[in-house]
Amino acid sequence: MNIFKKSSTFRAKRRIKEQGKQNELKKYAEATLGSGNLRLAVQLPEGEDQNEWLASNTVDFFNQINMLYGTITEFCTCENCPLMNAGPKYEYFWAETRNKKKALLKLSAPEYIDKLMTWIQSLLDNEKIFPSQMGESFPNNFLPVVKTILKRLFRVFAHIYHNHFTQIATLGAEAHLNTSFKHFIFFVNEFKLINRTELKPLEGLVDSLLKKKK
C-alpha cells in the first residue's frame, strides 16, 4: 500500500536552483539529519546566511507537512472535520481581507488546509519574498513572513495529532510524522520562530521533545 499517494491537496514542490545556495543548504541539512542528531541538524551552518537557512528549511517543512497531510485526506473531510481544530479546546479561523476589512472565516479542516497550502505556495513562488538566485536579497519583512508560515503549518501538525493520529498509525506513518514534527519543533525553538502560546495544543508533546538530548 502506498501511504503517500497523490491527492488534490498536494502542491508542486518549490523548485530550488541546482546551483543555488538554498540547494547547497538543503544537501547540508539532509546530511546532518542522517546523523540522527536533530539539534545539530537545525543549527545555522557556520558562515551561512540565516535568511537562506530559514528559507531552505521553510520550503522543506512545507513539503513534508503537505505529504503527511496527503496520507489522511480521505479521512479529513468536511463531514468528518467540519471545523479546523486541534481537539475541542482549540479552533482556528481563516483570516481574509474583504473590502479593506479583516474577516475571520470558520472553515472545515480540509478547506482551511487547502487555503493554507495555496497561500504558502504563492509565497514560496514569489521571487521577491523567497529569491532562488544567489546574491539576491531577502525583503525586510522576510522573518515575519516565515514566522507566520511556520505558525500556520504547526496548526496542520496539531490537527493531525489530535484528529487523525489513529489513522496515521494504521497507515504505518506515525514514525515519519513524529520525526518530522520533532525536526520542526527543534528548528522553530532554535530560532524562536513560534510563540509558546501557539504551541499549547501540543504542549505536552513539545515539552517532552525539547527535554530529550536528540
> Is the residue at 91 inside a domain?
yes
> Is the residue at 13 inside a domain?
no
> Is the residue at 182 inside a domain?
yes
State the CB neighbour count (10 A cutoff) for residue 202: 21
- The pLDDT value recorded for residue 11 is 44
> Is the residue at 74 inside a domain?
yes
Per-residue pLDDT band at 32 (split at 50, 70, 90): very low
Per-residue pLDDT band at 18 (split at 50, 70, 90): very low
Determine the length of the chain. 214
Report the share of the chain in percent with pLDDT over 70: 82
pLDDT tens digit string along 78-91?
A: 999 999 999 999 99
Residue 17 has pLDDT above 50, yes or no: no
Residue 14 has pLDDT above 70, yes or no: no
Domain at 158, CATH number: 1.20.140.30
Stretch 1-15: mean pLDDT: 40
Q: How far is CA 29 from CA 20, 51, 166, 212, in A?
A: 15, 15, 30, 20
Number of structural domains the chain divides into: 1
- The single residue listed with the C-alpha cell 489522511 is 72
Encoded amino acid at 21, one letter: K
Per-residue pLDDT band at 21 (split at 50, 70, 90): very low
Stretch 27-44: mean pLDDT: 66
What whole-number distance in Å separates Cα of residue 43 and Cα of residue 29? 9
State the CB neighbour count (10 A cutoff) for residue 152: 22
Domain housing 106: 60-211
